[in-house]
Structure formats: C-alpha cells, structure tokens
C-alpha cells in the first residue's frame, strides 16, 4: 500500500474519532499526522516541532505535544522511549511491519531492524487467550562508528619485557 493511501486511511480514522468525541478537526492536527506518516524513523517532539514549523509555519510546542498525545490515544501514533532519561519518540502505527530498534548509547543513533515473525513467536510464548497488539524490542549498545572511534582513541599499550634476575 502506498504512503498516500495510508495517510488517507489515518486521516479518516482521526476524522471519525474527532466527530465521535466532539473534538475539532484542525489543520495542525492533520498536518502533524501526515508529517509523522512521511517520516522513515521515529522522531522526538523537538524534531517534529521543528519540521512542522519549517513546513506549516509557526505553531506552539504545546499544540504539537497535545496533538501527539491525541494521536497516541487514537493509536495512530506510538510513543516510545528509546533512550533512558531522554526524550520520547513518536512513530506511525498503521500498515507498519513489525520492527525493533538498535540505539547507540554513545551517539544516540537509532536504526530500525525488521522483526518479520515476532508476533507469531511472541504468541507462542504467552498464555492462551492473550491477544498481542504490539511488540517492542529495543537493543541498546554501541554502534559501529562509535566502536571504531573508541578503538582509535585507546592508548596503545607497549609490551613490557621481563628481566631475568641473576
């Protein structure tokens, strides 16, 4: 399914939710939803706010925050905490293949990793009757680039020779 169709589907779900809950459909809400569905990676609120302002014009960070909360409540966007004591990240939820993340503890780089069979595997491990609607996997460590930098920064050790006692 192409991304425009997925965005249209997400907007229709949002419209239905707003009508059913007597909330206003605002251009800002629709724009933020569309923006998140165009991103290829999760983004934190500061990044989303900056992107919205670049494309939409001035918008308060409070509006972005409350819109993200609304979209999370509707389950069109997922809030994830990838970095301990760091910002929350947001990503689309519709028509998304199961995936996990690798997060570098040094530079904060985030990479998405596919998890094709994770729901099937997880369902075999949980008690009968439990319905899985979301699976998260976050692998934390050091990325290749940071590992290489650390190896270059290590002081070179010199071999010490043992002297014979006579």
Per-residue pLDDT of the chain (166 residues; tens, 9 = 90+): 688 999 999 999 999 999 999 999 999 999 999 999 999 889 999 999 999 999 988 999 999 999 999 999 999 999 998 877 888 999 999 988 778 889 998 988 888 888 777 666 666 677 777 777 777 788 899 999 999 988 888 766 555 555 555 5
Alpha-carbon separation of residue 64 from 21, 76, 116 (angstroms): 19, 15, 32
Strands 77-80 and 89-92: antiparallel
User: How far is Cα 72 from Cα 110, in angstroms, rounded to an integer?
Assistant: 21
pLDDT (tens digit per residue) in 64-99: 999 999 999 999 999 998 877 888 999 999 988 778
pLDDT of residue 79: 93
CA distances from 104 to 36, 91, 99, 111, 135 (A): 23, 19, 17, 9, 20
In the chain, where do the E strands start and end? 43-44, 77-80, 89-92, 99-104, 110-114, 138-141
As a whole number of angstroms, the distance between CA 87 and CA 93 comes to: 19
- Asked if 103 and 82 touch (Cβ cutoff 8 Å), the reply is yes
Distances (CA, A) of 127 to 63, 118, 123, 124: 41, 16, 8, 8
pLDDT at 3: 86
Whole-number pLDDT of residue 57? 87
């Amino acid at each position: 399914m192409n991304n425009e169709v997925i965005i249209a589907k997400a907007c229709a779900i949002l419209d239905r939710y707003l009508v059913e809950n007597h909330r206003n459909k605002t251009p800002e809400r629709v724009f933020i939803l569309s923006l998140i569905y165009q991103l290829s990676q999760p983004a934190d609120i500061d990044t989303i706010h900056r992107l919205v302002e670049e494309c939409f014009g001035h918008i308060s960070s409070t509006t972005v925050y409350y819109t993200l909360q609304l979209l999370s409540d509707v389950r069109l966007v997922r809030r994830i905490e990838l970095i301990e004591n760091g910002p929350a990240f947001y990503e689309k939820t519709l028509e998304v293949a199961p995936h996990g993340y690798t997060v570098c503890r040094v530079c904060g780089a985030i990479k998405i990793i596919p998890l094709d069979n994770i729901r099937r595997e997880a369902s075999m491990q949980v008690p009968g009757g439990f319905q899985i609607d979301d699976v998260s996997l976050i692998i934390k460590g050091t990325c290749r680039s940071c590992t290489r930098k650390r190896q270059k920064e290590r002081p070179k050790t010199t071999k010490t020779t043992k002297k014979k006692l006579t």
